[in-house]
Chains A and B, each alone.
Chain A
Amino acid sequence: MSAKNLNKILNEICISPELKKAEWIGLREVRERHRSFVGQDGKIRDISSDNTHGIMVEVFFHGQMGYSASPSPHVSAVLESAIRALRQAQAASKWSVAPFDFGASSPRVRPVAKGHYASPKSVSTMSPAAISELVVMMSGRMQKSSKIVQTLAYIDCLDGESRLVSTSGTEIEQELEGIILHFQATAQDGSITQKRSDGENLQGNQQYLTDPSLWLRVDRVAEQSLELLSAPECPNETTSVVLMPSQMTLQIHESIGHPLEIDRILGDERNYAGWSFVRAKDFGNLQYGSKLLNVTFDPTVSGELASYSFDDGGNPAKREHLIRDGLLIRGLGGLESQTRSKIPGVANFRASSWNRPPVDRMANINLEPGSSSFDQIISSIESGILMDTNRSWSIDDYRNKFQFGCEYAKRIQNGKITHTIRNPNYRGITTPFWNGLKMVGEASTLYTHGTPNCGKAEPNQVIRVGHRSPVCLFENVEVFGGAK
């Protein structure tokens, strides 16, 4: 269905006398397909295709939104949905936590917008049979030793489109392609088990599935899983820590992204994921990290997993600094949260699919590069630990006290990387940790990661987010290993 056809449905349902009381009506159609391929231990494990399609109707009454979603695109079903949404809005309006002003012709929280977004597209598409063979080969190639007890390769090819039209004239179409790639090897020797993994989470084409460097990475995962079996445990000490981009993505996500979500600051999320230590008065005042910390909200990066041109409220997306020179200046909140809180925000009012309402989400949250080369960072460290690839994460409901674990680590002594360490974990408190940021890698150390599985909101939603980061060095970090 095109945006024009969706608009036609909107015009048809608006004739209904029952909807005359609505202040604003929006239709958001989402169609998404995931084709997933799983290879395990050199054999095919699963091939599946998941196709979802439906229309969300949002209706405002007395400034309160009600919604209703259904998989049916038939006019009669959309009309029925719109009437249900209106009734929900009417029933909720006397209890509204934040009624919005819909008196103007172009309401602030649902601006009029027209436009189109298309992610990078596949130059050539591999057939399902070829991708099936690829995951079988990848998982087979990692079986390099009898000590490797399990291997897995996973590819998820995503294509989707969304359309948003409204009674105030919005008409947006966005198209997306993406690939999630993950591969891992589990090695075991006696009572010791270790796992190593790698992958990509990007919008765009399948080019890197055919790039020869993929096989080097596959080999490295298998070799490092074996290497970890005989590596010493991470020591218990307070030391310098170098985080590779694959771990920085998690560090940024949990201790910058989520605490800056304005709906958390407003308390919407406190019954589920939690609140935030950040308060409205902190914007423009809180030294979140050292002067080297510069963080942007940037849905304009081509190929990063959460790039788009408009959020699901119709707000045009643009790059904004959240933290500049360590100072907190902007929150992660869409127009509804900005109106309620008076905090400057961004275009991040997003829903996971057609069957969930939009809330404040991360998109691409990136840590901007600094001026240090990787060698300069390592050579500056007398004693420290380099950690790579997240494997565990936990943080409190105010996003203060965190504990993260990685798959793989290296000891750094006298400015040199020495030996491998297993079970590296570290813990800290958010703002002291970021104020301990001592060196930030230059652009050559940047890597773009992301996750398709950021969970939040009630009803629950998982959404795609992207994170690009350089290598970073932190001082005075409490590290420790695994134990019985």
Chain B
Amino acid sequence: MNRPISSFREHFESLVDVAFKTLSTAEVLACELIGEDSQFVRLNAAKVRQAGQVQDASLRMRLFLRRDEGVRSLENTFSLTGDWKSDESRLMAVISEMQNEVQRVPVDPYAVLPTNRGQVSQIEEGKLLNSEEVCDRLLSDCVGLDLAGIYAAGAVIRGTANSLGQRQWFYAENFSLDYSLYTPAEKAVKSTFAGSRWNRSEYLQDLDQSKRLLSAMENKPIRLNRGNYRAYLAPAAVADLVGMFSWGCVSERSIRKGESPLRFLRTGERRLSSLFSLTEDFTLGVVPRFNGEGDIAPERVPLIEQGHLVGSLVHSRTASEYGISSNGATAGEGFRSPSMDPGNLKREDILKSLGTGVYLSNLHYLNWSDSFEGRVTGMTRYACLWVEDGEVVGPIETMRWDDSLYRFFGSELLAITDFRSVIAETSTYHHRQLGGMLMPGILLKEMNFTL
């Protein structure tokens, strides 16, 4: 790239200023910048499979044309090189093409014109490993381990601006090591070590904790029959289940279109446990509060309180369609930073409270069995253990489960831990994603295992 990602703010603001000068009075332009300077090291057998770096930046522009008959709009996204001449020339060509095309597309009755949400700037500098030292620093402490995973680190940027004067900026430097350890019999444990400042002693602690858990996986695996078992789900497993709420559950649009299983909460036909409360919570500080259009969400958006649906995620377009207020949600109306309230189950009481049943550290490959009813299927994965009378007996063989969100967070929910874990977002589809979840563990009276 022709300039460091850390200096893209100026470049972005100068480019959008050029774009705004080309607009007629009938046009409004909203711009978003997404960029990163990332290092990726893929690991297998505690060695390096692939190592590299990616610099990437793209500018998304949405042009609105106001006419008496209504608003037309379209969007164009293109890669930025960081070179002023190239990027300015491309920008001008794209704007010109958009200005031509927008006149010929259908009127969008629910288009939401941007507004000026003011100036926001959030900069989170970190202390990351030098990119050429990463392999040594990661792997010197892993000799003798069978470790697989991905180290992803570097700067990520997000910016928005519109022709009404809005400017928002987010810059963060962070890292994540998403890894798993394996026994010779291929039983595994999973961890994610993430943050903004690399600390070797914390890294060693994380590795040690994983190694200790791995030793519990060395016993002979236990094969469970199909059926219902009492279960404890650790925070990472709960995060997977809560993640399903992003698949059209807490979306206001999905609720109104009858697609969300939570529509039964709104109508009062069903309810969840009074122990269960869920919030979209930006106080975690892991993701900007502004969305791609620059709409700013409240710091906390309560969604479920003591089992009752008290809110939903509302994007500006949904708000326009139904004549309601937006709460700054993304276009997909999914979570960016959810937190679930803790309960009173203490860490030291988990096994005793579980008694005899399954302890699930992680789940895998969740999908709906019946999306309209909230029934979910998935697999057990990593450290999943059989417990008898409060004592770990050994790992279980992989099991398929199939059960309902109304049972997980409703009729079967016995207790919630008094501690919570931050589950960092490690997804890197298209670019490094931001976000995270704050989740407790949950104790269930029973969970349905099917294969």
Task: Please give the residue numbers on chain A whose beta carbons come within 8 Å of chain B beta carbons, in ascending order.
Answer: 43-54, 64-74, 76-77, 80-81, 84-85, 87-92, 94-98, 127-129, 132-133, 136, 149-150, 186, 188, 191-195, 266-268, 270-272, 274-275, 355-357, 359, 391-398, 400-401, 403, 405, 423, 425, 427, 429, 455, 458-462, 482-484
Report chain B residues within 8 Å CB of A74.
2, 81, 83, 86
Majority-rule SS of B interface residues: strand
Q: Kindly provide the distance from the CB of A317 to the nearest chain B CB, expressed in whole angstroms.
A: 22
> Does B48 belong to the interface (CB within 8 Å)?
yes
Q: B residues 273-296 with Cβ under 8 Å of A? A: none
Q: Which single member of A53, A128, A482 contacts B101 (CB below 8 Å)?
A: A128
- Near A by CB (< 8 A), chain B positions 71-112 give 73-83, 86, 101, 104-110
Give A39's nearest chain B residue, CB to CB: B106
Interchain CA distance A50-B450 in the complex, whole Å? 42
Per-position 1/0 for B344-383, Cβ under 8 A of A: 0000000000000000000011111111110101110100
B389 to chain A, nearest CB (A): 29
A48 touching B75, Cβ below 8 Å: yes
The answer on a CB contact under 8 Å between B152 and A459 is yes
The answer to whether residues A357 and B56 also contact, given A44-B108, A271-B149 and a CB cut-off of 8 A, is no
Knowing A68-B52, A401-B379, A427-B451, say if A271 contacts B106 (CB, 8 Å).
no
Q: Is the CB of A271 within 8 A of B178?
A: yes
Are A69 and B54 in contact, CB atoms less than 8 angstroms apart? Answer: yes
Give every chain B residue within 8 A of A396 (Cβ-Cβ): 364-365, 379, 381, 398, 400
Nearest chain B residue, comparing its CB with the CB of A51: B78
A270 to B104, CA, bound (A): 49
On chain B, the residues within 8 Å of A90 by CB distance are: 132
Q: Which residues from B are CB-within-8-Å of A70?
A: 1, 54-56, 81
The 4 closest A-B CB pairs, nearest first, are: A482-B370, A67-B52, A458-B150, A97-B47
Name the contact of A97 in the complex, choosing from B48, B58, B427, B451 (C-beta under 8 A).
B48
Residues of B within 8 A of A267 (CB): 44-45, 148
Give Cα distance in the complex from A484 to B375, angstroms.
7
The residue of chain B having its C-beta at the shortest distance from the C-beta of A40 within the complex is B110
A43, A48, A459: which has the most chain B beta carbons within 10 Å? A459
Q: Are B81 and A97 in contact (CB under 8 A)?
A: no
- Give Cα A463–Cα B50 distance, bound, in whole angstroms: 19
Say yes or no: B105 contacts A459, CB within 8 Å: no
8 Å CB contact of B82 from A43, A72, A133, A356: A72
9 additional A-B pairs beyond A70-B54, A74-B81, A394-B378, beta carbons within 8 Å, are A47-B75, A52-B58, A66-B52, A69-B54, A88-B52, A91-B131, A396-B398, A401-B451, A459-B432
Q: In the complex, are the beta carbons of A186 and B370 less than 8 A apart?
A: no
**Chain A CB within 10 A, most for which of B43, B178, B369, B428:** B369
B200 an interface residue at 8 Å Cβ cutoff? no
Contact present for A68 and B106 (CB under 8 Å): no
Partner among A52, A76, A129, A132 whose Cβ is within 8 Å of the Cβ of B2: A76
What A residues does B429 contact at CB under 8 A? 455, 460-462
* A95: contacting residue among B47, B83, B110, CB under 8 A: B47
Do B135 and A458 touch across chains, with their CB atoms under 8 A apart? no
Asked whether any CB of chain A lies closer than 8 Å to the CB of B41, the reply is yes
Residues of A within 8 A of B118 (CB): none
B257 CB within 8 Å of chain A: yes
Q: Are A64 and B48 in contact (CB under 8 A)?
A: yes
Tell me, yes or no, whether B179 is within 8 Å of chain A by CB: yes
Q: 11 A-B pairs, CB-CB below 8 angstroms?
A: A51-B79, A66-B52, A85-B53, A91-B51, A274-B364, A393-B367, A396-B400, A403-B367, A403-B369, A482-B372, A484-B404
CA distance A186 to B263 in the complex (A): 15
B420 at the interface (CB under 8 A from A): no
What A residues does B378 contact at CB under 8 A?
394
B94 shortest CB reach to chain A, Å:
8
Minimum distance in angstroms from A328 CB to a CB of chain B: 20
Which chain B residues lie closer than 8 Å to A460 at the CB level?
A: 427-429
Q: Is B81 within 8 A of A72, CB to CB?
A: yes
Q: How far is the CB of A442 from chain B (nearest CB, A)?
A: 32
Closest residue of A by beta carbon distance from B190: A271
Most B-side CB within 10 Å, residue of A46, A149, A188:
A46
Which residues of the partner chain A approach B19 to less than 8 Å between Cβ atoms? none
Determine the chain B residues whose CB is within 8 A of the CB of A66 once the complex forms: 51-52
List chain B residues, Cβ under 8 A from A194.
Answer: 372
Tell me the bound Cα distance from A360 to B39 in angstroms. 21
A97 close to B79 (CB less than 8 A): no
B135 touching A71 by the CB < 8 A rule? no
B residues within 8 A CB of A77? 1-2, 81-83
Confirm or deny: B264 has a beta carbon within 8 angstroms of a beta carbon on chain A. yes
User: B381 to A397, Cβ gap below 8 A?
Assistant: yes
In the complex, the answer to whether B42 meets A394 with C-beta atoms within 8 Å is no
B312 neighbours in A (Cβ, 8 Å): none
Least Cβ distance of A79 to chain B in Å?
12
- A188→B2 CA distance, assembly (Å): 54
Asked if A482 and B81 sit within 8 Å, CB to CB, the answer is no
Among B23-31, B180-188, B209-217, B298-306, the stretch that binds chain A is B180-188
Q: Using Cβ atoms and an 8 Å threshold, which residues of chain B touch A462?
A: 429-430
The yes or no answer to B406 lying at the interface (CB within 8 A) is yes
8 A Cβ contacts from B241-282 to A: 257-259, 264, 269
Partner of A49, one of B75, B365, B404: B75
Q: If the complex has contacts A67-B52, A94-B135, A392-B369, are A403 and B400 also in contact, measured as CB distance less than 8 A?
A: yes
| Residues of A close to B402: CB separation below 8 A | 403
A394 near B379: Cβ-Cβ < 8 Å:
yes
Q: Chain A: which residue is nearest B80 at the CB level? A: A71
B105 → chain A closest CB, angstroms: 5
Contact check, B269 vs A92: say whether CB atoms are below 8 A apart.
no
Cα–Cα distance between A150 and B373 once the two chains are bound (Å): 18
In the bound assembly, the distance between CA atoms of A398 and B397 in angstroms comes to: 12
Q: Is B133 an interface residue (CB 8 A)?
A: yes
Digit string of B120-142 for contact with A (CB within 8 Å is 1, else 0)? 00000000000111111001000
- B47 near A50 with CB under 8 A, answer no
Instruction: Check A483–B373 contact: CB distance below 8 A.
Output: yes
Interface residue? B197 (CB, 8 A):
no
Q: A72-B1, A271-B149 are in contact. Are A65 and B50 (CB under 8 A)?
A: yes
Asked if B67 is at the interface of the complex by the 8 Å CB criterion, the answer is no
Whether A458 contacts B131 in the complex (CB less than 8 A), given A77-B1, A89-B51, A186-B258, comes out as no
Q: Which residue of B56, B73, B148, B379 is within 8 Å of A271 (Cβ)? A: B148
Is B20 engaged at the interface, CB distance under 8 Å to the other chain?
Answer: no
Flag if A91 contacts B375 (CB, 8 Å). no
B375 touches A95 (CB 8 A): no
Report the separation of the CA atoms of residues A90 and B107 in the bound assembly, to the nearest whole angstrom: 56
List, in ascending order, chain B residues with CB within 8 A of A397's CB. 364-365, 379, 381, 398
CB < 8 Å: which of B42, B139, B259 contacts A186? B259
Annotate B34-71 by CB proximity to A: 1 below 8 A, 0 otherwise. Answer: 00001111111101111111111110000000000000
